[in-house]
Amino acid sequence: MALVTPTRSLLAMVVAATATLAPVAWAQNYPARPVKVVVASVAGSAPDVLARLIAEKLGAALGQPVIVDNKPGAGGVVGIDAVAKAAPDGYTLAIGHDGTMAINTIVYKSLPYDPATDFTAIAPLGLNEFVLVANPKTGVRTLKDMIAYAKAHPGKATYGSAGVGTPNHLFMEQLLKAAGVSMTHVPYKGGAAAVADLVGGQTDFMLSGIAPALPHIKAGKLVPIAVTQPTRSKVLPDVPTAAETIAGFGMKTWFGLFGPAKLPPAIVQKLNAEVRKVLADKEVQDKLTAQGIVVETGDPATLAATVKSDIARYKALAPEIKLDPN
C-alpha cells in the first residue's frame, strides 16, 4: 500500500489545531504547583493583609498553595517590576493598586514597567478606606472646622503623609484644592511614622488608612473628621463623608490582582472566577472590613479600564499640585 504524504496545508491545519488546544489543556491542569502572589510592600500593610486573607482560601480552591511574597522597595516598583518580567504562566501574580499602577507614573520620571501594557488584569479586589484625622489639640471636629482652621493659620497648618506621591499625599492635595485651602505637607518614610507624629502633635492633620488610625481614634488620641470614599464606612458609621460638606467630592484607592502580560485567557478566567468566590465569603468580607478594606470585585476588563483612567487622571493632576517626578 502506498503511503500518502500529507500536504503542506494539511500539516498547517494540524499544527494550528494543536496550538489552539494546547493552552486550553494547560489551563485545565493549572495550577500544577504553588502560585506566588507578590506584594510590593512590607508585611502588615493593607495590600499584604488583603493578599494573605485571599491566599488561604484561594489555595484551597485551586488545590495548590498560594504563597505571599513581600518585595517592598522604591514605592512598589521593585515588586511590581518583578511580576512584569515573570513568565506569563499564572504562577507569578501581584497585588497591584492605584499607587503602583497609576500614581507611580507621575512620581517617577521613568518606570521599568508600563502599567497599561506590561500586565494582565485578572480581578478587581477592593477599596482601601481613608479617614481624615486631626490631632485633638487643633480643636477641629468637622471638615468645616478644618477648612476654617487652615484659613486661620496660613502657612502654619500642616498635614503628614506616608511620603511624596503616596495616595494619602495626593488625595489630601485634591481634598484641599476642592476645599479652597492649603496646608504645608510634611512627608514621612511610611504611614506609621506619619501617624505617630500626628498623635504626638508634630503635625495637625493626616489622611490615613482607617486600619492604622482606628486604635488611636478609639483611644481619643485622634479625631476622625471625614472619610473620602463616596459612602460612609461600616467601621466608622458616624463619621460623615467629605462629600457631605464638599458636594461631589469622592476619592477611592483600589486593589487588583494582576499577572504578567499575555497571560492565557483560560487562566485569567479561572483565577477571576475563584477570586470572586473567595471575596463573596462573608468571613473574608468581615475580616477585610475590620481592616478598612471594602470588597469590590468584577471582571478583568473593569480592572484594566480603571488602570488606564487613573493613569490619565493622575497625569493631569501632577502639574496642578506641582509634583516633580523623581
Reduce the secondary structure of the chain to three states and give it as a string. CCCCCCCHHHHHHHHHHHHHHHHHHHHHCCCCCCEEEEECCCCCCHHHHHHHHHHHHHHHHHCCCEEEEECCCHHHHHHHHHHHCCCCCCCEEEEEEHHHHHHHHHHCCCCCCCCCCCEEEEEEEEEECEEEEECHHHCCCCHHHHHHHHHHCCCCCEEEECCCCCHHHHHHHHHHHHHCCCCEEEECCCHHHHHHHHHHCCCCEEEEEHHHHHHHHHCCCCEEEEECCCCCCCCCCCCCEHHHCCCCCCCCEEEEEEEECCCCHHHHHHHHHHHHHHHCCHHHHHHHHHCCEEECCCCHHHHHHHHHHHHHHHHHHHHHCCCCCC
Measured distance CA(251)–CA(237) in Å, rounded:
17
Residue range 95-114: mean pLDDT, rounded: 93
Measured distance CA(243)–CA(99) in Å, rounded:
23
Task: Please tell me the number of Cα atoms within 13 Å of 203 on its side-chain side.
Answer: 24
Around Cβ 260, how many Cβ atoms within 10 Å?
A: 22
292 residue type, one letter? G
Q: What is the pLDDT of residue 197?
A: 97
More confident residue, 148 or 320: 148
pLDDT tens-digit profile of 144-183? Answer: 999 999 999 999 999 999 888 888 888 999 999 999 999 9
Residue range 200-206: mean pLDDT, rounded: 98
- Are 34-127+252-320 and 130-228 equal in CATH topology? yes
More confident residue, 75 or 283: 283
Q: What is the pLDDT of residue 15?
A: 52
pLDDT at residue 207 greater than cutoff 90: yes
Q: What is the pLDDT of residue 189?
A: 82
Q: What is the pLDDT of residue 211?
A: 84
Domain spans in the chain, listed from the N-terminal domain onward = 34-127+252-320, 130-228
Q: What is the pLDDT of residue 6?
A: 53
More confident residue, 46 or 186: 186
Most confidently modeled range among 16-30, 126-140, 308-322: 126-140
pLDDT band at 20 (very low <50, low <70, confident <90, very high): low
pLDDT at residue 8 greater than cutoff 70: no
Residue range 63-67: mean pLDDT, rounded: 97
User: Which residues, other chains included, contact 61 with Cβ-Cβ below 8 Å and sequence gap of 6+?
Assistant: 274, 277, 278
pLDDT band at 4 (very low <50, low <70, confident <90, very high): very low
pLDDT tens-digit profile of 262-279? Answer: 999 999 999 999 999 999
More confident residue, 255 or 74: 255
Fold of 34-127+252-320: D-Maltodextrin-Binding Protein; domain 2 (3.40.190)
Q: What is the pLDDT of residue 296?
A: 93
The DSSP bridge pattern shows strands 158-161 and 205-209 to be: parallel
Closest to 165 measured CA to CA, from 322, 1, 281: 322
pLDDT band at 292 (very low <50, low <70, confident <90, very high): confident
Mean pLDDT of the chain: 90
Q: What is the pLDDT of residue 2?
A: 46
Alpha-carbon distances of 168 from 119, 195, 206, rounded to whole Å: 25, 12, 8
pLDDT band at 1 (very low <50, low <70, confident <90, very high): very low
pLDDT tens-digit profile of 122-144? Answer: 999 999 899 999 999 999 999 99
CATH number for 130-228: choose from 3.40.190.10, 3.20.20.150, 3.90.550.10, 3.40.50.300.
3.40.190.10
